[in-house]
Amino acid sequence: MDAARTARDLDAWFAANARDLPWRRDHDPYHVLLAEFILQQTRMETGVRYFHELLRRFPTLRDLAGANERDVLAAWSGLGYYRRARNLHATARRIVRELGGRIPSDVDALEELPGIGPYTAGAIASIAFDRPATSLDGNQIRVLSRVLGLGRPSNKQGGRQVRAFAERLVATASPRRVNQALMDLGSTICLPDRPRCRACPLAASCRSAGRAWPPRRKEGPAPGERWTAELWARGGRVWLTPPRGKGLLGDLWLPPMRPARASDPSDGIRHVFSHKRWHVATLRRHGTPTGKGRWVSMEALRGLPHSALTRRLMAWALGGAPAGHAVWVTPRRATVRRAGTGTATGSRSARSKTRLR
């Protein structure tokens, strides 16, 4: 495959089709770093909203480093994968304390920082500093695997070939433009299931042009768990308990939760994570709650680290189900699939992860 030609085609396409994204206007290293943390496993539309909000609250790297972790988590609330927020904060502190406040332009130095892996290091080095580093995310891996005619990127041979070709590309043309062009191409043209090959600038040389990959093997649903949320509401406020410190949503404020008992009500909400699904029965409580906690209004919630689940449960407690979210109602004796049962046909990790090695 001709890397020079591919890079040239990508460059020309990008010049006319690049998406207008905030951190692309100045390539400020802090803006790029912030965006890359946010965009790990996150949709662009959602990411852009949080990018503006986090930048508003923490205008500079030093502001972020000087903030309380709790305030960073509060600003991150609703975005998910909350460890990213702690890693972002820890990385900002390390850069300010140990590196004089200067974000490294070197991939190896970047990868030393918490929350920065091979992809993010390469993305920062190339986009912020135009250094010749690869940034192989799911999009790039898919695009290059197709260009090279390798099929679904699962085998090690394909991984090495993709990496080698990506390295030739960033050595040939502006790494900043090549990497972002590949990302944009992957998210707008070279789509996972229905590639729009007629609109693709690489179609003439692509070894998979016009051909779709075989359908993915399906998997069963994520294992379900039943929980019960105990909801005290008083004067527009709901009783929340502080972060437990570990496990799923462990960094966040939630209403008191416990494993469901058979006698609990069957109405509630369904909250789906990437690896499990919770059925949360909503139990309205009266009287005075015991244990650690606070009465929190929707307004005050913004200052506390919390999950989308917290918002949904509070909305339920304060006035019924929020619009747009289905309330599930099951028969008294309904059963929920437990982990390890059901119709799973493959490993969960094999479904959506495209990794190289």
- Residues of this chain that interact with DNA (CB under 7 A) are 19, 21, 35-36, 39-46, 78-83, 87, 114-121, 123, 137-139, 180, 183-184, 186-187, 191-192, 216, 218-221, 247-250, 271-276, 307-309, 311, 326, 328, 347-349, 351-353, 357
Give start and end residues of each alpha helix (H) in 224-324.
Answer: 298-301, 308-319
| CA 92 – CA 109 distance, rounded (Å) | 14
Measure Cα distances from 296 to 233, 306, 347 in Å: 9, 11, 40
| CA 67 – CA 81 distance, rounded (Å) | 20
Name the minimum Å distance from CB 24 to DNA. Answer: 7
Name the minimum Å distance from CB 142 to DNA. Answer: 7
Are the C-beta atoms of residues 52 and 31 closer than 8 Å to each other?
no
Name the minimum Å distance from CB 286 to DNA. Answer: 27
Nearer residue to DNA within complex by CB, 137 or 230:
137
Secondary structure (3-state) at 304: coil
29 DSSP 8-state letter? H
Name the minimum Å distance from CB 343 to DNA. Answer: 8
Nearer residue to DNA within complex by CB, 84 or 237:
84
Question: How many DSSP H helices and E strands does the chain contain?
Answer: 15, 7
| CA 305 – CA 79 distance, rounded (Å) | 11
| CA 297 – CA 347 distance, rounded (Å) | 41
Among the listed residues 36, 69, 98, 167, the single catalytic one is 36
End-to-end alpha carbon distance in the chain: 21
131: CB partners within 8 A, 6+ apart: 105, 106, 107, 125, 175
Nearer residue to DNA within complex by CB, 37 or 235:
37
Name the minimum Å distance from CB 199 to DNA. Answer: 16
Nearer residue to DNA within complex by CB, 8 or 348:
348
Our answer to whether residue 36 is catalytic in this structure is yes
147 DSSP 8-state letter? H
Name the minimum Å distance from CB 307 to DNA. Answer: 3
Are the C-beta atoms of residues 140 and 166 closer than 8 Å to each other?
yes
Q: Which residues are catalytic?
A: 36
